[in-house]
């Protein structure tokens, strides 16, 4: 989620979505925003990408240095330059939690240039793929927007904007400024409006604006020549998306790219939305591949087509997933008549009206919930649509966006989400996302890893709903003619001057739609089934080792990673183990047998006479079983000789006589004789009973 961290000593706002099991993610998706670079603007975009990966891969958005939160640049230039921003993003990738991960980069606008510079510095195998959305990587000052930016009028507007931020920041109360900015987003849901309002207010200060305008000016100066040398080496890793009517990265630039790289099929000019796509459209763009199949695919459908319902509150809040059933809210059954619904509404509205419940803070929320339920169920068409798809049809949210607002955009942008899904699937083992492969970490004790054991791995998978046989519909209520294609199974799509026919994405080519969705599977056609798979862990596995198994029931591939805890008694080195053994001085001199702990219990080990401290005793074949089944490793005992601290007077005299019999050259230095005649020595011996 949202947090602030220090990158190169710079306070930075980031958005992070992380899987619950961090060990299941071996690569991360990092989004580099354009200018202004406030991560909050791309909050929903990041969440959709996170959902697209089935929430098993971390997704991050990094604010630009000095943009969010505002930070004063020390030194020249007085703003954070393109190089500063590149180093700033690289510092994020070098954090302990990211440094060993593979990376997928998504750049937007100027973020594409930063992404390009990052790829030049990062090891070639570190970046798996990059997506450039509206790539401003060349000739920025020659674009329509760039030409205005560097014009006299443009420079005046920027100077005026800069001084206006002084007024906004120092003269207007933040609450008042938020209210003014909030008017721009008043048609959005409350959650999204709040996020975008706070994000915009946060950059309306002299410090952030200085960084934003300074960086923009540098873009006009430095981003001119396309780096063809870099592109020739990395073109296979990059997917380009240009806008059809973009003033910063026009289609003429896309045409030049296609001309210069004719063999590359990843240079697209399909984006029909605005260059600044941070608002409602981003919901639509990234949700195309997420929409569940409401009904079984008709035989005429040759490729996945996403249903046309566009959401106004899609993922505005995680609480959306837990919305109460509208019939339950009003306390009526699904077969209730219009009069029964109306009666229930008026009774509840009277009971929970805020004017009559001034002391109950939840009354207002309850009243709004009741009103929303009545608004849907009192309208015949909306009620029929709700009965069909429930809360999955997000048009029952707040706001005013319709599918018609994006006429023709679905097919044109579907390639981005489809290609992104293909990339995700490729690195998750191929096949459809979330259905063929999962990752699971098994925690093992040291002895479990050495000797082998059996572990139970819980997992869940989707199976066909038995109630509706995978159709997603309640067959007892029958079907009605598709309201999108009027029963033809196809729809006409206007793409500029060309009109083409596509399979209807409302009924998926069937020409009809169920009147009511299946209550068991909520219209998806599948339900979740949970089971445990018994896994035999072979003896000798090491920490971090992974393997893949297939569940014979679901056919799901499960990547198992082993996390082995350390032992207090043993140290592992491949198939060998090491442990310390303490040998008494007498045993070291004369030799003998000692009892030591091995992998299979206590054992007797012979100690040769004259053994020295730090000497290693090798026990062949007493180590860890080799994974390939070719025997066992060895057990190495590290000798540590123990010297008695307290001696009797006789013991002291024997050792002293022995020392005097030695050649002085054998003793390096001098030894100290203990005085047993002193009163303190006698008292000490008496206390110890010696």
Q: Which of 20-34, 419-433, 488-502, 640-654 has the lowest mean pLDDT?
A: 419-433
Average confidence score pLDDT of the chain:
76
Q: What is the pLDDT of residue 427?
A: 44
3-state secondary structure of 503: strand
Compute the distance between CA of residue 578 and CA of residue 163 in angstroms, rounded to an integer. Answer: 70
Compute the distance between CA of residue 96 and CA of residue 649 in angstroms, rounded to an integer. Answer: 59
Q: How many CB atoms lie within 10 A of CB 54?
A: 15
Compute the distance between CA of residue 678 and CA of residue 684 in angstroms, rounded to an integer. Answer: 10
**Percentage of the chain modeled with pLDDT above 90:** 15
Contact in structure between 631 and 578 (CB atoms under 8 Å): no
pTM (2 d.p.): 0.47
What residue has token string 């919305």?
323
Compute the distance between CA of residue 368 and CA of residue 615 in angstroms, rounded to an integer. Answer: 79
Contact in structure between 31 and 59 (CB atoms under 8 Å): yes
3-state secondary structure of 501: strand
Please tell me which residue, 262 or 354, carries the higher pLDDT value: 262
Q: How many CB atoms lie within 10 A of CB 65?
A: 26
CA angle 625, 630, 634 (to 5 degrees): 50
Q: What is the pLDDT of residues 209-249, one digit of tens each?
A: 888 888 988 998 899 899 999 999 898 889 888 876 677 88
Contact in structure between 400 and 312 (CB atoms under 8 Å): yes
What residue has token string 């001098």?
670
Set out the domains of the chain in order of their start, with CATH numbers. Answer: 2-279 (3.40.50.1820), 318-397 (1.10.287.110), 571-642 (2.60.260.20), 651-688 (no CATH)
3-state secondary structure of 87: helix
Q: What is the pLDDT of residue 492?
A: 67
Q: What is the pLDDT of residues 585-627, one digit of tens each?
A: 989 989 999 999 999 899 999 999 999 988 999 999 999 988 7
Compute the distance between CA of residue 302 and CA of residue 509 in angstroms, rounded to an integer. Answer: 10
3-state secondary structure of 55: coil
HSE, CB side, 13 Å, CA atoms: give it for residue 356.
8
The residue among 500, 502, 496 whose CA lies nearest residue 484 is 502
Please tell me which residue, 617 or 316, carries the higher pLDDT value: 617
Q: What is the pLDDT of residue 308?
A: 30
Average pLDDT over residues 492-503: 55
Instruction: State yes or no: pLDDT of 30 exceeds 90.
Output: yes
Contact in structure between 425 and 431 (CB atoms under 8 Å): yes
CA angle 482, 485, 491 (to 5 degrees): 150
Here the tokens at position 126 are 């570190």
Please, is 638 exposed, middle or buried when counting C-beta atoms within 10 Å of its C-beta (0-12, 13-18, 19+)?
middle
pLDDT band at residue 268, thresholds of 50, 70 and 90?
Answer: confident
Compute the distance between CA of residue 458 and CA of residue 531 in angstroms, rounded to an integer. Answer: 6
Compute the distance between CA of residue 49 and CA of residue 420 in angstroms, rounded to an integer. Answer: 9
Compute the distance between CA of residue 518 and CA of residue 389 in angstroms, rounded to an integer. Answer: 9
Please, is 539 exposed, middle or buried when counting C-beta atoms within 10 Å of its C-beta (0-12, 13-18, 19+)?
middle
Strands (E) in 54-112, as ranges, are: 59-62, 102-108
561 phi and psi angles, rounded to 5 deg: -115, 140
Compute the distance between CA of residue 114 and CA of residue 120 in angstroms, rounded to an integer. Answer: 10
3-state secondary structure of 200: helix
Q: Which of 75-89, 237-251, 420-434, 538-552 has the lowest mean pLDDT?
A: 420-434
The residue among 149, 191, 160, 195 whose CA lies nearest residue 168 is 160
52, 72, 262, 315, 621 from 87: Cα distances, Å: 29, 17, 33, 32, 52
Q: What is the pLDDT of residue 98?
A: 67
């Amino acid at each position: 989620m949202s947090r602030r961290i220090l990158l190169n000593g710079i306070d930075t706002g980031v958005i992070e979505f992380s899987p619950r099991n961090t060990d299941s993610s071996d690569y991360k998706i990092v989004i580099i925003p354009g200018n202004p670079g406030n991560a909050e603007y791309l909050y929903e975009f990041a969440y959709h990408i996170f959902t697209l990966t089935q929430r098993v891969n971390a997704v991050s958005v990094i604010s630009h240095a000095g943009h969010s939160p505002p930070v004063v640049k020390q030194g020249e230039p007085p703003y954070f330059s393109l190089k500063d921003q590149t180093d700033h993003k690289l510092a994020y990738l070098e954090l302990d939690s990211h440094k060993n991960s593979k990376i997928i980069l998504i750049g937007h606008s100027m973020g594409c240039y930063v992404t390009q510079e990052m790829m030049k510095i990062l090891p070639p195998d570190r970046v798996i793929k990059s997506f450039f959305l509206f790539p401003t990587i060349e000739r920025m000052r020659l674009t329509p927007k760039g030409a205005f930016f560097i014009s006299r009028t443009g420079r005046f507007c920027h100077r005026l904007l800069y001084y206006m931020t002084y007024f906004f920041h120092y003269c207007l109360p933040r609450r008042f400024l938020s209210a003014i900015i909030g008017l721009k987003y008043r048609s959005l849901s409350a959650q999204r409006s709040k996020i975008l309002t706070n994000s915009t207010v946060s950059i309306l200060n002299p410090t952030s604006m200085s960084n934003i305008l300074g960086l923009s000016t540098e873009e006009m100066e430095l981003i001119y020549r396309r780096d063809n040398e870099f592109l020739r080496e990395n073109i296979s890793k990059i997917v380009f998306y240009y806008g059809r009517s973009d003033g910063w990265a026009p289609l003429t630039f896309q045409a030049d790219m296609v001309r210069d790289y004719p063999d590359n099929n990843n240079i697209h000019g399909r984006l029909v939305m605005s260059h600044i796509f941070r608002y409602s459209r981003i919901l639509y763009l990234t949700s195309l591949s997420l929409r569940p199949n409401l009904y079984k695919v008709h035989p005429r459908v040759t490729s996945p087509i996403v249903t046309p319902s566009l959401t106004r509150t899609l993922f505005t809040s995680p609480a959306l997933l837990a919305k109460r059933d509208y019939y339950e809210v009003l306390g009526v059954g699904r077969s209730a008549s219009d009069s029964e619904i109306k009666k229930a509404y008026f009774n509840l509205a009277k009971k929970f009206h805020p004017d009559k419940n001034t002391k109950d803070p939840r009354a207002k929320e309850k009243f709004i919930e009741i009103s929303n339920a009545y608004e849907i169920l009192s309208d015949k068409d909306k009620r029929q649509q709700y009965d069909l798809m429930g809360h999955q049809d997000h048009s029952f949210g707040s706001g005013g966006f319709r599918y018609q607002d994006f006429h023709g955009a679905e097919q044109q942008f579907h390639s981005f989400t489809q290609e992104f899904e293909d990339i995700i699937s490729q690195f998750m083992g191929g096949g459809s996302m979330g259905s063929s492969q999962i990752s699971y970490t098994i925690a093992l004790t040291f002895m479990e890893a050495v000797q082998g054991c059996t572990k139970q791995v819980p997992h869940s998978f989707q199976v066909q709903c038995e109630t509706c046989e995978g159709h997603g519909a309640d067959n007892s209520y029958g079907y009605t003619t598709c309201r999108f294609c009027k029963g033809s199974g196809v729809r006409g799509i206007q793409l500029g001057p060309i009109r083409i026919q596509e399979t209807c994405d409302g009924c998926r080519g069937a020409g009809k739609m169920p009147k009511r969705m299946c209550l068991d599977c909520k219209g998806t056609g599948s339900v979740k089934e949970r089971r445990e798979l018994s896994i035999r862990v072979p003896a000798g596995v090491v920490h971090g080792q992974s393997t893949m198994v297939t569940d014979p029931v679901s056919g799901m591939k499960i990547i198992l990673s082993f996390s082995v805890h350390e032992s207090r008694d043993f140290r592992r080195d491949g198939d060998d183990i090491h442990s310390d053994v303490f040998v008494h001085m007498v045993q070291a001199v004369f030799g003998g047998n000692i009892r030591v702990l091995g992998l299979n219990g206590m054992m007797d080990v012979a100690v040769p006479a004259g053994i020295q401290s730090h000497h290693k005793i090798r026990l062949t074949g007493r180590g860890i079983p080799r994974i390939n089944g070719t025997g066992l490793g060895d057990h190495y005992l590290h000798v540590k000789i123990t010297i008695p601290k307290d001696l009797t007077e006789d013991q002291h005299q024997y050792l002293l006589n022995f020392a005097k019999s030695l050649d002085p050259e054998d003793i390096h230095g001098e030894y100290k004789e203990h005085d047993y005649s002193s009163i303190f020595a006698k008292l000490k011996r008496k206390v110890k009973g010696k």
